[in-house]
């Protein structure tokens, strides 16, 4: 079970390296991760693009998907706080393999770039096709890990929030800042990457894991209240940035930080009982659905599908694809397919 059975838990979305079965598996989180993977597909297929209000409402709901994956990955790693090189190796291998799979879609784009641009594209921006999440996780994890060698966990979190605020101010909030101070803000070094995006959420997951109760036994009513209040603030933030100041960026949000925290804490405190094999299967499915989605998006877009139909086709196709790959990888001559998840 240990070698590849942890799969994406140990690689990226969860990193299952806990001290006990309780920390290695959490059925509720595994179920929610599959839901989140489907919602990420929704982000990229825009099922409600036919109506601006439904589209914006859906966007508010889905803004916590990637942060949830970051937090979960970090949380499960730091419950044991060992195997950093193994953790990074698994994520890097997954990133490398899927970058090669998507390479045919990038050849024309990369042919027009300099060597420096290509290196920046792959090792800072993190490629396209939603793979930026993987490279962002590598960078975010390394920064968090090294910061802990110097600072206490809560200090690392405070520092990371500072970077989150910088990322928000130079991306989503930049039109408002430019309007108030009559300045021009350049999004130097980007925002959707390991420094400004992954680092804060990896730090948050780390602090939760290192807390005295390890994210358990919290007052659920308070967590739900915090989640709802954060949701309201996210709506307000979205109205200010999008409706009033027409921000072209909808990636980084200040209120999404507590919004994601409370969601993770609620999910982590709900006990849904599934056997370990089923729980691990869900993890693998969420991984494959996430990384393979653009193969099906490109294919169905080529045939003219879009919107809600595209969303359903891609969701169903990635689910079937994930199950087939996982089942095939259980056979001797197809074990290499495990490297896809």
Task: Give tens-digit pLDDT for 174-199.
Answer: 999 999 998 999 888 889 899 999 99
Region of poorest pLDDT, from 181-190, 226-235, 287-296, 330-339: 181-190
Residue 9 pairs with which residues in a beta bridge?
A: 15
Region 76-96 average pLDDT? 92
Average pLDDT over residues 272-278: 91
pLDDT score for 24:
55
Nearest to 97 by CA among 288, 329, 285, 286: 288
- Give yes or no for a contact between 11 and 90, defined as CB atoms under 8 angstroms apart: yes
CB atoms within 10 A of CB 74: 27
Max mean pLDDT range (12-16, 212-216, 317-321):
317-321
Q: How many CB atoms lie within 10 A of CB 196?
A: 25
Please state the rounded mean pLDDT for residues 41-54.
95
Q: What is the mean pLDDT of residues 314-331?
A: 98
Q: What is the pLDDT of residue 25?
A: 65
Average pLDDT over the chain, rounded to an integer: 91
* CA gap 310, 301 in Å, rounded: 7
| pLDDT one-digit tens code per residue, 107-133 | 999 988 999 999 999 999 999 899 999
Q: What is the pLDDT averaged over residues 143-155?
A: 97
Dihedral-angle region of residue 153 (phi above 0 means left; psi in -120 to 50 means alpha; beta otherwise): alpha
Tally the domains of the chain: 1
Distance CA 166, CA 171 (A): 9
**Average pLDDT score over residue span 222-249:** 95
Cα–Cα nearest to 196, from 117, 253, 237, 116:
253
Asked whether residue 7 carries a pLDDT value surpassing 70, the answer given is no
Q: Residue 46 pLDDT > 70, yes or no?
A: yes
Task: Tell me which residue range forms the domain holding 107.
Answer: 2-340
pLDDT computed for residue 26 by the predictor: 87
Q: How many CA atoms lie within 13 A of 200 on its CB side?
A: 26
User: Above pLDDT 90, what percent of the chain?
Assistant: 79
pLDDT in tens, 292-311: 999 999 999 999 999 999 99
Q: What is the pLDDT of residue 43?
A: 97
How many residues comprise the chain? 341
Q: At 102, phi and psi to the nearest 5?
A: -85, -5
Residue 17 has pLDDT above 80, yes or no: no
Q: CA-to-CA distance for 232 and 125, rounded, in angstroms?
A: 31
The whole-angstrom separation of Cα 297 and Cα 317 is 10
For residue 135, pLDDT over 60 is answered with yes
pLDDT for 80: 83
Looking at per-residue confidence, does 9 or 278 come out higher? Answer: 278
Band (8; pLDDT cuts 50, 70, 90) = very low
pLDDT of residue 81: 76
Q: What percent of the chain has pLDDT over 70?
A: 93
* 320 or 187, greater pLDDT: 320
């Amino acid at each position: 079970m240990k070698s590849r059975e942890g799969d994406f838990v140990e690689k990226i979305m969860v990193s299952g390296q806990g001290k006990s079965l309780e920390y290695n598996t959490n059925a509720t989180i595994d179920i929610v991760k599959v839901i989140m993977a489907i919602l990420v597909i929704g982000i990229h297929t825009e099922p409600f693009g036919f109506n601006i209000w439904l589209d914006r409402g859906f966007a508010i709901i889905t803004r916590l998907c990637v942060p949830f994956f970051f937090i979960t990955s970090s949380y499960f790693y730091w419950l044991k706080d060992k195997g950093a090189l193994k953790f990074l190796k698994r994520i890097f291998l997954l990133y490398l393999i899927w970058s090669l799979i998507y390479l045919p879609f990038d050849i024309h784009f990369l042919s027009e770039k300099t060597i420096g641009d290509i290196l920046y594209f792959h090792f800072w921006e993190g490629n396209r096709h939603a793979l930026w999440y993987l490279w962002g996780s590598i960078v975010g994890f390394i920064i968090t890990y090294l910061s802990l060698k110097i600072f206490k966990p809560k200090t690392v979190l405070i520092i990371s929030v500072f970077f989150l605020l910088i990322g928000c101010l130079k991306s989503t909030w930049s039109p408002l800042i430019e309007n108030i101070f009559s300045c021009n803000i350049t999004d130097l070094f980007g925002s959707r990457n390991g420094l400004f995006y992954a680092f804060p959420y990896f730090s948050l997951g780390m602090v939760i894991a290192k807390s005295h109760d390890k994210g358990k036994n919290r007052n659920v009513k308070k967590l739900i209240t915090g989640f709802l209040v954060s949701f309201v603030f996210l709506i307000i933030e979205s109205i200010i940035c999008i409706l009033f100041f027409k921000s072209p960026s909808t990636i980084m949000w200040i209120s999404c930080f507590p919004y994601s925290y409370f969601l993770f804490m609620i999910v982590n405190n709900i006990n849904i009982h599934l056997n370990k094999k089923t729980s691990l299967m869900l993890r693998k499915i969420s991984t494959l659905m996430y990384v393979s989605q653009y193969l099906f998006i490109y294919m169905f877009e080529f045939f003219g599908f879009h919107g809600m139909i595209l969303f359903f086709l891609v969701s169903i196709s990635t689910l079937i694809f994930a199950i087939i790959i996982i089942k095939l990888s259980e056979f001797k001559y197809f074990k290499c397919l495990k490297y896809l998840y």
